[in-house]
């Protein structure tokens, strides 16, 4: 009997029913009996749009683009829907100070509900197969580099690099003499079995990305870094073996659960949103600028947040 119940609990249909029951139970627990959200209209009028634009201008010292303004409006609508649902469920009083916290509280609740579902047989393995690159160890490379200093060589740096590259190719495999052919450099000339992230920390992302693409057994260049110009000889580049599921299962489960939370939250929010009539006034064109959005808009942020660089 117990094994039968366990088997049933793994069925997607049963899990959906249980998730729905959790939502209903949470509403019954936190919401007042018979309580409904009284106002099913969310009005984003011209005055509110003007306040969004004004707040954006104060924060970013420029008007928003239409895409950025749409992001702010979408974040406001999402927050308001979640806030009203939180109030209807009795998660807090109708206080402007707690509005944002209540919307977040409802999101935390849905996150917990999403974690209720465990992956069915084979589901986690399939997720692993679809996302193997997330769990692969970084490839390793062994190389030497000769540095040319643009502060010393000025406009002749690239021409000098091409001339030296031709000589190095003629010489073949690098030795101490060829590695000393360039200018003095604060970092080492020889790197043994380092990953792209190791190289990036010392020589920057542009250099590391370029070097990881170079073929072994020959000289390459010029390769640029923040320091100057480099000529690079790759001895060996070794790709990491494919990861084994059993070795990374815990990480796969964590990523799968995170994705399930995101999917559940989207469906939950869209279901709530469908219960509202949302009216948004057309923003004045002369209060916007042209161009794509270069800020990240989220619920709980009135005027956006600059993405991490």
Residues above pLDDT 70, as percent of the chain: 78
CA distance 302 to 200: 36
- Alpha-carbon distance 193 to 138, whole Å? 11
List the chain domain ranges: 11-130+246-287, 140-238
- pLDDT tens-digit series, residues 17-74: 555 555 555 454 444 443 443 468 999 999 999 999 999 999 999 999 999 999 999 9
What mean pLDDT is reported for the chain?
A: 82
Which one is predicted more confidently, 213 or 109?
A: 213
Q: What is the pLDDT of residue 29?
A: 42
What pLDDT, on a 0 to 100 scale, did the predictor assign at position 33?
40
**Beta strand pairing call for 41-44 and 277-280:** parallel
Check pLDDT > 50 for residue 159. Answer: yes
H or E element at residue 237: strand 229-238
Per the model's pLDDT, the better-predicted residue between 115 and 60 turns out to be: 60
| 140-238 CATH pick, 3.30.300.30, 3.30.530.20, 3.20.20.60, 3.10.50.40 | 3.10.50.40
Query: What is the per-residue pLDDT across 249-298, written as a single tens digit (0 to 9) for each?
Result: 999 999 998 898 888 888 888 998 999 999 999 999 998 988 777 666 66
The region of weakest confidence among 93-102, 211-220, 230-239, 262-271 is: 93-102
Return d(Cα 41, Cα 124) in angstroms, integer: 41
The confidence band for 134, taking pLDDT boundaries of 50, 70 and 90, is confident
Indicate the pLDDT class of residue 174, thresholds 50, 70 and 90: confident
Helices (H), the chain: 2-9, 12-30, 46-60, 66-88, 99-114, 123-130, 150-153, 157-171, 176-179, 196-203, 205-211, 245-273
DSSP 191: E
Return the higher-pLDDT residue of 249 and 180: 249
């Amino acid at each position: 009997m117990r094994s039968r119940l366990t088997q049933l609990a793994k069925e997607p249909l049963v899990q959906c029913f249980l998730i729905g029951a959790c939502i209903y139970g949470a509403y019954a627990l936190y919401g007042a009996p018979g309580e409904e959200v009284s106002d099913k209209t969310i009005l984003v009028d011209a005055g509110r749009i003007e306040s969004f634009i004004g707040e954006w201008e104060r924060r970013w010292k420029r008007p928003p683009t239409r895409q950025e303004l749409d992001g702010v409006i979408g974040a406001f609508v999402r927050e308001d829907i979640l806030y009203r649902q939180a109030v209807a469920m009795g998660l807090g009083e109708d206080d402007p100070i707690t509005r944002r916290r209540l919307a977040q509280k409802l999101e935390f609740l849905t996150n917990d509900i999403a974690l209720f579902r465990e992956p069915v047989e084979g589901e986690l393995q399939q997720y692993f197969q679809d996302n193997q690159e997330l769990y692969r160890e970084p490839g390793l490379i062994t190389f030497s580099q000769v540095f040319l200093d643009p502060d010393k060589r000025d406009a002749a740096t690239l021409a000098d690099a091409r001339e030296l590259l031709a000589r190095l190719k003629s010489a073949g495999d690098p030795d101490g003499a060829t590695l000393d052919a360039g200018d003095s450099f604060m970092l080492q000339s020889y790197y043994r079995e380092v990953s792209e992230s190791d190289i990036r920390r010392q020589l920057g992302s542009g250099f590391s990305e370029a070097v990881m693409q170079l073929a072994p057994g020959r000289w390459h260049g010029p390769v640029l870094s923040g320091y100057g110009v480099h000529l690079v000889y790759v001895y060996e580049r070794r790709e990491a073996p494919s990861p084994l599921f059993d070795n990374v299962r815990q990480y796969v489960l964590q990523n799968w659960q995170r994705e399930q939370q995101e999917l559940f939250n989207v469906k939950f929010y869209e279901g709530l949103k469908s219960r509202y009539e949302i009216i948004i006034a057309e923003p004045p064109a002369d209060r916007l600028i042209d161009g794509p959005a270069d800020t990240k808009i989220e619920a709980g942020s009135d005027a956006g947040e600059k993405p991490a660089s």
